[in-house]
Structure 1
């Protein structure tokens, strides 16, 4: 049995016309000899009577603090609605389809309501339905605990569902359908000549996703990477081939130069962050002070990023919306942090960065020539990050895209 997992987001299922396009993609897979498993996200936006936001507003209008367990029950309804609508659409076109919730599909999670992690997938029920020639539609974003409690998987949960099912079913590919035609070298709203990448590695797309690209969630990529199952990022609304995410290069011919000379795959950005700098050099026990700072942030459920621990100071960033809370905590601890609000993190990502001299020099040169001030920097084997003022973000992305010739 040749299995393909196809994931469709809410925008792909929002109207009858779009659902017809989805049905065509599913039908094409069936006629190509595949047994498709379809993962769906919730349809609707705030104001629509069937949207998750509408349900949430209704409940929170009664009482603002709904327990996480009950909140997950409500949050799981949107995918059930979209899945039922898609099954009806597929049936109307002569395709036999059946709907499974995450739990019915065998997705077992821990009990961290609202942000559950998948423990395992038991795909027996899905395989039985596929053996009968049916298209299996699965509600994304959700699973059940060992005791049968409904959970949701947090941000990017439907992508995660698709990858987990792809791994469990040993699918040939996992196709993530969106409203864009693939992974681009930069945000096309910022860079006019950004282009679609034919192929990226798992590591590259993980880093692009973590650094701000929102086409696929990095958790989904990490799961697919466990079994080297290729991911394809494609558009529901066109027949473009999209971007293939893999560690292999299946289209290379005999005699092809196998040296990867692409240093940079793309540019990503994350706006609206605040830099905090806490002086620690006057504290008698610097190691204890560093620990106290990060422990305090963790206890307050504040996510920190872009961390630099130095002998004289600790630097890190938080999102603008929680910066005041972080500053208040530090001040209550006796610190007077230096605060730089409204920053942006700009990243260059590429598997070819490691061990290549001059990449940072080129990055600094491009930003300097563009008049962009670097507030902080860091690097890994696939990524170099810089922190800039938010008003310089667009200029930074554009200048780096041009410097590394990503439009070619």
Structure 2
């Protein structure tokens, strides 16, 4: 049996017209000889009546301090509504489908409400349904604890994670992630009009792009697929475009019906906004100062990024909502520091950059040509990032996209 997992995001199930498009994708998979497992997100985005954020607001109207168990139980409702409506739509068109919660589909998690981790997937029931010609329509984003049968949610990007995990457990031929864009792009098209759709990209590259701000797919889902070497596709529900293949090897970008091999060794430019940069003085004779600083930040629940550490200085960035807590930690610990607000991070990602001379020179020259000050850089084998002022973000992304010939 050839199994395919097809995940559809909130916009793909939000209207009757969209759900008919989903039905067409499911029928096409059946015609191609696959047994589909459908995974759905909650219907619509914030403001829509059954969107997860809307349900949360309804609960907080009753009690702003909601118990985490009740919060997870409520957040599961959006996907349950979506799976029932999508199953009913498929049934209307003669497709034998059955709605399942994450727990009914066999997704067993730990009991960390709001950010549960999948411990196991019991696929026997899903396999019986598939062998009987029934298409499971599974609630994404959720699972169930093993012993006390409590609903749990998987955190941000949970529906992508559900689809990847089901694909791995079922030994699926591939996982398709359907959304409202035609694939993974070389940059955010809202910032760079000339951004191109990538025909193929490696697991590692798309993870780096996601961690650095690209929002098409969650990196945890990609990591699960990478662990099982399952090909993933990012496609549009609303077109027949081939989408982007995520696999073990990087590829090129799409130009009509041709594939353009990436001349620059880079695959894309990603960006994050709403950052605050801190520069902290360190005493070079106090070897414990840096350790104490980061222990204190961790104890306060503050996650830092873009970290540079030397004898005399530490530099890092936090998201703006963490600014005041960071300042409190630094003040209480007696550190001298400079706080740079209104910052952004721009990153060039590409596994083929590894060991290539001149990559940093190209990066720095592109920003210098636009008179964009680099406040800080951080790099790895596959990523070069810079902290810049947020007012320069669009120019920075555009300049790097052009300089790296994306």
Structure 1: gaps of 5 or more residues: 252-258
* Aligned equivalents of 1:278, 1:248: Cα separation in 2: 40
Kindly indicate whether the alpha-carbon contact (under 8 Å) linking 1:260 and 1:352 is maintained by their aligned counterparts in 2: no
Deviation at 1:52, TM superposition (A): 2.6
**SS state at 1:19 partner:** helix
Mapping for residues 203-222 of structure 1, pairs under 5 Å:
203-222=204-223
User: What whole-Å deviation, never above 9, does each CA across 1:315-372 have from its counterpart, x for those lacking one?
Assistant: 1110012212211221112123210011111000001111100000111111111111
- The answer for the alignment partner of 1:360 in structure 2 is 360
Provide the residue aligned with 2:257 in structure 1: none
Distance apart, 1:51 and its partner CA: 3.1
**1:103 match:** 103
Conserved 8 A contact 1:186-1:401: yes
The 5-angstrom pairing of residues 128-277 of structure 1 reads 128-147=128-147, 148-248=149-249, 263-277=265-279
Which whole-Å CA distance do the structure 1 matches of 2:338 and 2:203 have between them?
37
Q: How many residues are matched?
A: 397
Structure 1: distance between partners of 2:243 and 2:311: 47
CA distance in 1, matches of 2:103, 2:346: 39
Cα distance per residue 1:259-306 (max 9 Å; x no partner): 986500000000110001111126x533x2212211222122111111
Q: Residue 122 of structure 1: CA displacement?
A: 1.2
Which has the higher mean CA deviation after the structures are superposed, 53-62 or 80-89? 53-62
SS of corresponding position for 2:297 = helix
- SS across alignment from 2:391: helix
Q: In angstroms, what is the RMSD of aligned CA positions?
A: 1.6
Q: Are the counterparts in 1 of residues 377 and 386 from structure 2 also a CA contact under 8 Å?
A: yes
Matched, 1:331 2:331: yes
Instruction: Please tell me whether the aligned partners of residues 7 and 175 of structure 1 are also in contact (alpha carbons under 8 angstroms).
Output: yes
Partner SS for 1:44: coil
**Counterpart secondary structure, 2:357:** coil
Asked if structure 2 preserves the Cα contact closer than 8 Å seen for 1:331 and 1:337, the reply is no
Work out the CA distance in 1 between the residues paired with 2:272 and 2:222.
19
Contact 1:233–1:243 (CA<8 Å) still a contact in 2? yes
Q: Give the secondary structure class of the aligned counterpart of 2:351.
A: coil
Q: String of CA shifts for 1:94-153, please: whole Å, max 9, x gaps.
A: 000011111111111111110011112111110000000111111000111222221100
Where does the alignment leave 5 or more consecutive residues of structure 2 unmatched? 253-260
TM-score when normalising by structure 2: 0.95
Taking the aligned partners of 1:248 and 1:279, their CA distance within structure 2 comes to: 42
Q: 1:155 to 1:31 in 2, by over 3 A?
A: same
- Which secondary structure does the structure 2 equivalent of 1:76 belong to? helix
1:116 and 2:119 matched? no
1:24–1:41 Cα change, 3 Å: same
CA distance in 1, matches of 2:203, 2:361: 26
The match for 1:254 is none
8 Å contact from structure 1 (residues 143, 152) kept in 2: yes
Q: 1:262 to 1:244 in 2, by over 3 A?
A: farther
How has the CA–CA distance of structure 1 residues 314 and 249 changed in structure 2, closer, same or farther, with 3 Å as cutoff? closer
Deviates more, 1:151-160 or 1:100-109: 100-109
SS of 2:334's equivalent in the other structure is: coil
| Closer/same/farther in 2, CA of residues 39 and 186 from structure 1, 3 Å limit | same
Q: Secondary structure at the match of 1:102?
A: coil
The alpha carbon displacement at 1:19 in A equals 0.4
Partner of 1:84: 84
Q: Evaluate the alpha carbon distance shift between residue 81 and residue 123 of structure 1 in structure 2; reply closer, same or farther with a 3 A threshold.
A: same
Structure 2 counterpart SS, 1:61:
helix
Conserved? CA contact 2:10–2:44, under 8 Å? yes
Supply the distance in 2 between the matched residues of 1:123 and 1:277 (Cα, whole angstroms): 50
* Aligned counterparts, 1:301-340, within 5 A: 301-340=301-340
1:60 deviates by 1.1
Contact 2:250 2:351 in 1 (8 A): no
Task: Tell me the distance in 2 between the aligned counterparts of 1:369 and 1:73.
Answer: 52
Offset at 1:250? 10
Task: After superposition, give the CA deviation of every residue in 1:183-233 in whole Å (9 maximum; x if it has no partner).
Answer: 111111111111101000111101011100000000000000011110000
